[in-house]
A and B are shown apart, each in its own frame.
Chain A
Amino acid sequence: MITSILKQLGTLLISLLGLTVLTFILSQQSDSPIHQYQSDSAFIQYFEYIQFLFNGDWGMSSIHKRSVLKDFLQHFPATIELIVFAMILAVTTGLALGILASTRRGGWLDNTLMTTSLIGYSMPIFWWGMLLVLLFSLTLGWTPVAGRISFEFDIEPFTRFMLIDTLLHHNKYGFDAFLNALHHLILPAVTLSTIPMAIIARMTRSSLLAVLKSEYIRTARSKGISKQRIIWIHALRNALQPILTISGVQISIIMSGVIITEYIFAWPGIGKWLLEAVSRRDFASIQGGVLALSIIVIAFNLVLDFLSIYLNPRLRRPS
C-alpha cells in the first residue's frame, strides 16, 4: 500500500512540474509581463514564477486589470454548481438505466436503452445544447435561455453558489428564488450530463452483466436470494469498482463539456471566462485558468486513485 501511495505522490510531483512549466510558457506569451522577475535566465525565472504562485500572485488580467486568482474564485462556484448538478443527474439516471437494461438483457427495453445511450454518447454536445435551447427555451418557452437566476431576484453573492445563496435569501423570497435558480440550471445540466450519463449507463450494464455471470452470484441465486436483492446488494457493489475507475475519464469529459456548455448557455463560470480570455489573448487569465482547472483535475484523480486503492483489496496487498 505504501509503495502505491508513494507512486501516486511521484505522479503528483511530475504532473505539477509539467503543468507549471506549461503555464510558465503560457505566461511568457503575454505582451505586457505578468510578473516582474529579478533574473534574466528563464530557468531561474521559472522558480520565481513558482514563488509568485505560492504567494497567491497569479497576475492581473490584461483588459479589466483584475486579480486573476480573484477572478477565478469568483467564476468558479458557478462551474462547480453546474458540474455537481449535472453529475448527480448523470449518475442517478445512468445507474438506473444501466440496471434496468441489465435486468432485461437482450429485450426490447435493453436494446432501446443501449441504442439511446449510444446516441447520447455520440452526440456533439455543442449541437445538442443548441437543439435543446431551440426546442425548450425558444419554441416551447419552458426553460430560460441564459443566466443563473431571473433578475427580479436581487441575490447578494455570499457563497456564489446560487442554490445556496438563494436559500440564504429565504426570508426575502421564500423558495421562489431557489426554484428559479434550479429552473435556470436544468437545461445546462442536462446538456452537460448527456455524455457521462450514456457512459455510466453502458458501464453499469456491462459490469453488472459480468458480475451477474460470475460464480458467487450464481451460488447466491441457487441459494434462493431474490434477483432484486442480488442486483442491489451484491452485484452493484462489485460493479461499482470499474465504474469508479472510469470516473477519472469522466472528469476530463465533464471538464471539456463544461467549457462548451457554459459557452452555449452564457453561464458565467470558468469555461466561459477562459474562452473569453483566449479570444482576447489575455495570457494572465489563460495561465491562471489552465493552472487552477488542472490542479482540480489532478487532485480529483488523486483522490480517486486513493479511493480505489482503499476499495480494492487486491491493490492494497503489496505485490
Chain B
Amino acid sequence: MIKKSNENKDLMTNSSVYRDVASKAKLLISLTALFCVACSPEDSDLTEQDRTQDLLVYCSEGSPDSFNPQLVTSGTSYDATANILYNQLVTYKPGTTEIVPSLARSWDISDDGLRYTFNLRQDVSFHTSQVFTPSRSLNADDVLFSFNRQRLSSHPYHGISGGRYPYFTAQSMDQLIKDIRKVNDHKVEFILTRPESPFLSILATPFASILSAEYAEQLNRLRRPEWIDSKPVGTGPFRFERYEPDAYIRFKRFEDYFGDKRRVKNLVYAITPDAAMRFARFSAGECDVMSYPLPVHLRVAQKNDLQVVQTPGLNIAYWAFNTEKPPFHDVKVRQALAMAVDRESILQTVYDRQASLATNPIPPSSWAYNKNVKKIPHSKRRALELLKEAGYENGFSIDIWAMPIQRAYNPNARKMAEIIQQDLADINVDVRIVTYEWGTFLSRVSRGLHHSVLLGWNADNADPNNFFSPLLSCASSVNGNNYANWCDNRFDELILKGRTSSKQSERKEYYDQAQEIFKQQAPWLTIAHANNSVLVQPRVKGFIISPIGNINFEGVTIGLPDQKQPRSQKQESDEVANQ
C-alpha cells in the first residue's frame, strides 16, 4: 500500500509534463463519466504550460489579520506582508541574522548610541494600484509617516483601523524613540532616549515596514483612509492583487522593484490552516512551497527526494510555571517538575528529532548563549526527593494549558502535554490538560488565568534581547509575554544592562549571568529549539529560509520542468515503519 503511494509520488514530483497530460486526460474521463457534456476544452490563447510556468503557489497556514504589519503581531500576517509587499530601512541578509541595507543605503550611529542617521535610496518606487498611481519615489516623508502613525496619537492616521500598534507598544518604542527628524529628502535621523543596542535589529522587523505617505494623502482625499491597511501599497517585490478570505491571496510581480529582479510573475498564497491538508496538497503538487510541515511530513519528504529547506531556528518551546500560583511559587516544585519530564522523549515524539534540546532560553546559535549552564537531568527519583523537601510528598494536581495551534517551535503542544501528563503521573502529580481556541487562549494566558502553560517564542529579530526582555523581564510580567509571571530583580537588572551597553563582550557577560539565574530559578522548563523548515518542490529555485522564520519570495524562481530522465526504480521499504 505504502510502496504504491511512493511510486506515485515519484511520478508526480518527477515531471509536470506528465502531470499536465495525465491530469487533462483524467479530467475528461472523469467528467464524461459523470456528465454528458459534449464540450472539449477549446484551444485558448494561453497553453497550460504558459500558465503554470510563472506561478508559484505557497500553501500558507492561515488568513492574515491585516495587510499592514504595523497593526498585528502574528507571523502569518507578517509572512504575507513584510517581505512581500513592503521593505524596511534595513533587513537581514537572506538566510542569516546579519543586518544589511535595504531602503536605507547606509547609516551612521553616533558615539553615545543615541542618534541613528539613515541615507535612503533614491530609486525606490511604490506600487501602482487601482486607486493609486504614485507621482514620486520613496523619500523621508514616507519613513516619517510610517513611524509617526504608530508613535504619535495626534497623527491623522493614528486612529485608523483600531489605532492599536501592538508590536510597537510591546517593544516600548514610544518610550525609546524621542524624535524622528527629516534631515533632507533622503536622510532621516532617529533620536533615542537611551542607548539601545538591538535598535538596528528592531528596525528590520515587520512593524518597521515603510508605507507611502502620498497614498495616505490620496486616501484622505477619497475619505477612505482605512484602505491603506486593506488595499496595501508598498515598495516590495510583489504587489497586491486580490484577497479572498480563508481561500487565497494573489500577488503580482512588481516590475519596478529596486531589488532582485528574479521573481515569479504570479504568487498565490493558498490558505490551508490544516497541516494534514497542506501536506496532502503539497504532495499532490497543488502547491510549490508548504509552510510549517509537521515533523512526520519532513521525514516522508526526505525519503522521497522532496526539497526540505531547513535551518536551526531562533526560537524556544517552553513550559512556563505561573509562579504567582501555588505550588509553582516554590522553586523546588518547579525544579522537581522540570526533572520529572523526559524531554528526550518529547524531542523524539513531538519533534521527530527536528529540534535540539533547550537548556537556556536563547538558542546555541546566538552569540550570547552561555555554554556553561548545565542541562537539567531527567530523574524521577530526584524529583520525588525535591517534592518531599517542599512538603508535597502526597502529590498534587496541576493544569497544563496547551497552545491549540501548530507552530514551528511547537508542532503539537497537545501531544507534548500528554507526554508530560504521563511522566508526572509517576511522581504523583495529576495533570489536567486545558486548551482553548488560540485567540481566547492568548487573552486568558495574558490575564494570568493559567496554572502552567506550554508555549513558545519565535524571535522576530536576531538580538538576544528579543528573548529576555519580552519573555522574562519584570515589565513583561505586567504587560507582555512573561507567562511565568516571574520577576527577579537581579535578573531584570542584568538584562537591562545587556540591552543598553554597546560593547558585545560586555553584553555577553551580563547575559551569561542572567542565564545562570534563570536556570537556578527555573521559571520555565526549556524544552526545545526547533528547526525552521519549509517543504519545496524541486522545480522551485532559490528559496531560502531565514532563522527568524520569515517567508521571502524575492529571488525565487520556477525552473523549467526537469528533463524526463529514466528514473531508477528505488526500492524503498516502508519509510514509516523502518525507524
Inter-chain contacts of B65 with A (CB < 8 A): 63-64
Q: A64-B65, A71-B245, A152-B52 are in contact. Are A138 and B280 (CB under 8 A)?
A: yes
Of B267-275, B334-342, B412-420, B462-470, the one contacting chain A is B267-275
Closest Cβ neighbor of B250 among chain A residues: A154
> B63 at interface (Cβ–Cβ under 8 A)?
yes
B39 within 8 A of A: yes
Contact between chains at A180 and B284 (CB < 8 Å) = no
Asked if A174 lies at the interface with its beta carbon under 8 angstroms from chain B, I say: yes
Whether B183 sits at the interface, judged by CB under 8 Å, is: no
Docked CA distance A65–B245 (Å): 12
Tell me the residues in window 50-108 of chain B with beta carbons closer than 8 Å to chain A beta carbons: 51-52, 55, 57, 63, 65
In the bound complex, do residue A146 and residue B44 qualify as a contact, i.e. CB atoms below 8 Å apart?
no
Are B284 and A137 touching (Cβ within 8 A)?
yes
A39 to B41, CA, bound (A): 61
Q: Give the A-B contact count at a CB cut-off of 8 A.
A: 123
Query: Cβ of B458 < 8 Å from any Cβ of A?
Result: no
Contacts of B440 in A (CB 8 A): 31, 280-281
**Which chain B positions have C-beta within 8 A of A279?**
404, 437
Q: Is the CB of B55 within 8 A of A152?
A: yes
Partner of A179, one of B27, B55, B268, B436: B27
A179 to B31, CA, bound (A): 8
**Complex CA distance for A178 and B223, rounded to whole angstroms:** 39
Are A174's CB and B286's CB within 8 A?
A: no
Interface residues of B in 212-268 (CB under 8 A from A): 242, 244-248, 250, 266, 268
Q: How far is the CB of B533 from chain A (nearest CB, A)?
A: 21
Q: How far is the CA of A266 from the CA of B286 in the complex (A)?
A: 13
Within 176-202 of A, Cβ neighbours of B (below 8 Å) are at: 176, 179-180, 182-183, 186
Interface string of A266-299 (1 = CB under 8 A from B): 1010001100100111100000000000000000
CB distance from A176 to the nearest CB of B (A): 5
Q: Does A74 contact B (CB under 8 A)?
A: yes
B45 → chain A, closest Cβ, in Å?
Answer: 8
Please tell me if A227 contacts chain B, counting CB pairs below 8 Å. no
Q: CB of A82 within 8 A of chain B?
A: no
- Asked if B449 is an interface residue, CB under 8 A from chain A, the answer is no
Q: How many residues of B contact A (CB 8 A)?
A: 56
Known: A143-B30, A179-B27, A183-B27. A173 touches B283 (CB 8 A): no
The proximity string for A residues 16-33 relative to B, scoring 1 for CB distances below 8 Å and 0 otherwise, is 000000000000000100
Interface on B for A, CB 8 Å cutoff? 4-5, 8, 11-12, 19, 22-23, 26-28, 30-31, 34, 39-46, 48, 51-52, 55, 57, 63, 65, 162, 242, 244-248, 250, 266, 268, 270, 272-274, 277, 280-281, 283-284, 286, 404, 436-440, 443
Besides the known contacts A65-B162, A152-B52, 17 further A-B residue pairs in the complex with CB atoms under 8 A apart: A64-B65, A133-B280, A138-B5, A141-B19, A141-B22, A142-B26, A145-B281, A146-B286, A152-B48, A173-B44, A174-B43, A183-B27, A279-B404, A280-B437, A281-B436, A281-B439, A281-B440
Q: List 29 A-B contacts (CB under 8 A).
A: A31-B440, A64-B63, A64-B65, A64-B245, A74-B244, A75-B245, A89-B34, A138-B8, A138-B280, A139-B4, A139-B5, A142-B26, A144-B284, A145-B280, A146-B281, A146-B286, A148-B247, A151-B55, A151-B57, A152-B51, A157-B244, A173-B44, A174-B43, A268-B246, A276-B246, A279-B404, A279-B437, A281-B436, A281-B439
Report which A residues bind B (CB closer than 8 A). Answer: 31, 62-66, 71, 74-75, 89, 133, 137-148, 150-154, 156-157, 172-176, 179-180, 182-183, 186, 266, 268, 272-273, 276, 279-282
